[in-house]
Each structure stands twice: as structure tokens, then as C-alpha cells.
Amino acid sequence: MDRNVVYVGEGQNHPGLLRPALFISAEELHWIRPDLALKDGETVEVDARIRYRQPLQKATLIKKEEGLYMHFNELQRGITQGQFAAWYINDELIGSGVISE
């Protein structure tokens, strides 16, 4: 306001809103199916969503000691820290967690 400048973006499709992956810290990681929980270094392909009622998206989970990385096959719009991500195998909810970054 001091310089009388207004910044605008390209709307919902602005490239800055798109990201390929997210991270969930180990402390915020919840496995509904503990028998399917990944061990450090393991990966699995899942269907995932980052917002309520979002169509499921293809993603790969990568488990590390510090937490879980979720890498999507397609860029995702508006991944936001503090929101939940959830992942499914064959339409069954397997786990979820609070997005750290």
C-alpha cells in the first residue's frame, strides 16, 4: 500500500499453484491399516486426495525416516500446509496425515 502497487495472478491455473508432491511428517502420519504401513525406504502406488470430495488422483507414497512423501502422477493445485491428505488402495482408506509442506 505504501507504493500503491497491486499484484495479480493468472487465476486458478497460475503455475505457482501447481505442485508435484507433498510431505507429511512422521508425527502427523496416521495408518488406518497398520498392516499396510510402509517401512522406511518402501514405496507403494495409491489413489489419493488432498481435499474433501476431490476425485482420486494417482500417486506414489515414499516412506522415509522423517515422514512420508506423496508424489502425484499429475500436478496438483493448491496443496496447502495444515490440510489432510488421504490415500486409498482399491477404494479402501489406508492412511492419512496432515500436510507439512
Structural domain boundaries in the chain: 11-98
**Nearest CA to 92 among 32, 43, 5, 41?**
32
**30-81: pLDDT as tens digits:** 999 999 999 999 999 999 999 888 999 999 999 999 999 999 999 999 899 9
DSSP 55: P
- Domain 11-98: which CATH class? mainly beta
- SS3 call for 84: strand
How far apart (Å, rounded) are the C-alpha atoms in residues 79 and 16?
A: 11
- SS3 call for 74: strand
How far apart (Å, rounded) are the C-alpha atoms in residues 101 and 99?
A: 6
pTM of the model as a whole: 0.85
Q: Is residue 13 scored above 80 in pLDDT?
A: no
- SS3 call for 75: strand
Q: Is residue 12 scored above 90 in pLDDT?
A: no
pLDDT of residue 17: 84
